[in-house]
Amino acid sequence: MSRFWSETIKSLTPYVPGEQPKLSQLIKLNTNESPYGPSPKAIAAIAGANNDSLRLYPDPNSDHLKQAIANNYQVKPNQVFVGNGSDEVLGHAFLALLKHQDPILFPDITYSFYPVYCNLYDISFENIPLKEDFSIEINDYLSYNQGKNGGIIFPNPNAPTGKALSKDQIETLLQSNKNSVVIIDEAYVDFGCESAVSLVNQYDNLLVVHTLSKSRALAGLRVGYAIGHPDLIEALERVKNSFNSYPIDKLAMAGAIAAIEDKAYLQKISAAVIDTRKNLVADLDKLGFITVPSTANFVFTKHPNKDASEIAARLREKHIIVRHFKLPRIDQHLRITVGTNQECKALINALKEIV
């Protein structure tokens, strides 16, 4: 701590991302990256954009990328916002749409960046406990403070649990919560969950956030986007243009457009992950693990007779890394990214020796 730090910085507890170890021959199942490479069309587009035009600034409005996203979801370009990864999009949304007198609401077990944003922007919040089975109970949000809140945000499917709400449940929430913004963080939606994007034209308080890091296998490119009512998008644009007018570089824009347009590749690798996830859960069941039903590219699981931190440490000795959260209610669970069939087979073989 320095005497030159602001009071805000002194009180911050930053988000801790998943480990990115620099080890060879590693099976990395801790950060929910895709086990498959990006669309070949995206790689070709990035290579094609690597030319003399990089001396010029990119389009600050990312108009071509917004149009590609709008075409994909059958919305208008002014309903689309893009940013440097969905974390930046979410950060702008917290400042633009969730900074109010009443506290915002999100689950007690969820993406751990949410309270970090709140502390950074001095936003009050309340954690709404998940049910015993780790599901989100909509009525708990509607009944809080007689229905008054500064906004509601949660991932769907939730992280790190992998459990999802149906689109009908989300619409029930929107119908009864019309006086604050509802943000649905759909980072993992392509692995078996129904998107809420189709509801944005019916509800002017709905913002849906997506990333290219998971199902489109472009975590290294850093592109995310939000879809919602034009007034919500305008609020995000105001924050973005007061912070960084050029968040999407030319290479990222080219790759993102190609990835968005390559629907066949998205479906192919998403289906592969879903199939591997099914087999992984079945193999974990045979070893006595108890796994939360998942519609994400990861599973959340525990073993009744083995300490989770011990399992994680033993796996690490075998050059397999998974995510362990030392937090209340989930300290005996492991979050395991769905890798390739070969990686998951190696994981199961290692777990057989451990448990």
Q: Are residues 220 and 287 in the same domain?
A: no
Q: Are residues 217 and 94 in the same domain?
A: yes
Q: Are residues 44 and 33 in the same domain?
A: no
- Final residue of a structural domain among 237, 261, 285: 261
56 located within any domain:
yes
193 close to 156: Cβ distance less than 8 angstroms = yes
Q: Are residues 222 and 300 in the same domain?
A: no
User: How confident is the prediction along the chain (355 residues), in pLDDT tens digits per residue?
Assistant: 898 998 888 988 888 887 887 777 899 999 999 999 999 999 999 999 999 999 999 999 999 999 999 999 999 999 999 999 999 999 999 999 999 999 999 999 999 999 999 999 999 999 999 999 999 999 999 999 999 999 999 999 999 999 999 999 999 999 999 999 999 999 999 999 999 999 999 999 999 999 999 999 999 999 999 999 999 999 999 999 999 999 999 999 999 999 999 999 999 999 999 999 999 999 999 999 999 999 999 999 999 999 999 999 999 999 999 999 999 999 999 999 999 999 999 999 999 999 9
- Final residue of a structural domain among 261, 280, 304: 261
The size of the chain, in residues, is 355
Q: Are residues 157 and 250 in the same domain?
A: yes
What strands, in cross-sheet order, belong to the sheet with 80-83? 80-83, 224-228, 206-211, 182-185, 152-155, 104-107, 125-128
Q: Are residues 255 and 275 in the same domain?
A: no
Handedness of CA 186, 191, 194, 197 (dihedral sign): positive
28 located within any domain:
yes
The range of the structural domain enclosing residue 288 comes to: 20-37+264-354
Q: Are residues 99 and 225 in the same domain?
A: yes
199 located within any domain:
yes
The position carrying tokens 């979050």 is: 335
What CATH number does residue 222 fall under? 3.40.640.10
305 located within any domain:
yes
Q: pTM of the prediction?
A: 0.96
Q: What is the pLDDT of residue 238?
A: 98
8 located within any domain:
no
213 located within any domain:
yes
Q: Are residues 179 and 33 in the same domain?
A: no
Q: Are residues 196 and 132 in the same domain?
A: yes
**Alpha-carbon span 52 to 56, nearest angstrom:** 8
Q: Are residues 219 and 240 in the same domain?
A: yes
What CATH number does residue 315 fall under? 3.90.1150.10
Question: Within the chain, where are the H helices?
Answer: 7-10, 40-49, 63-73, 86-97, 113-121, 138-143, 167-176, 230-240, 250-261, 263-286, 308-317, 341-354
- 106: which 2 tokens? 């999100």
Q: Are residues 142 and 197 in the same domain?
A: yes
- Residue 268, sorted as left (phi over 0), alpha (psi -120 to 50) or beta, turns out to be alpha
- Final residue of a structural domain among 198, 233, 261: 261
Q: What is the pLDDT of residue 251?
A: 98
Q: Are residues 74 and 32 in the same domain?
A: no
14 located within any domain:
no
2 located within any domain:
no
* Structural domains of the chain, count: 2
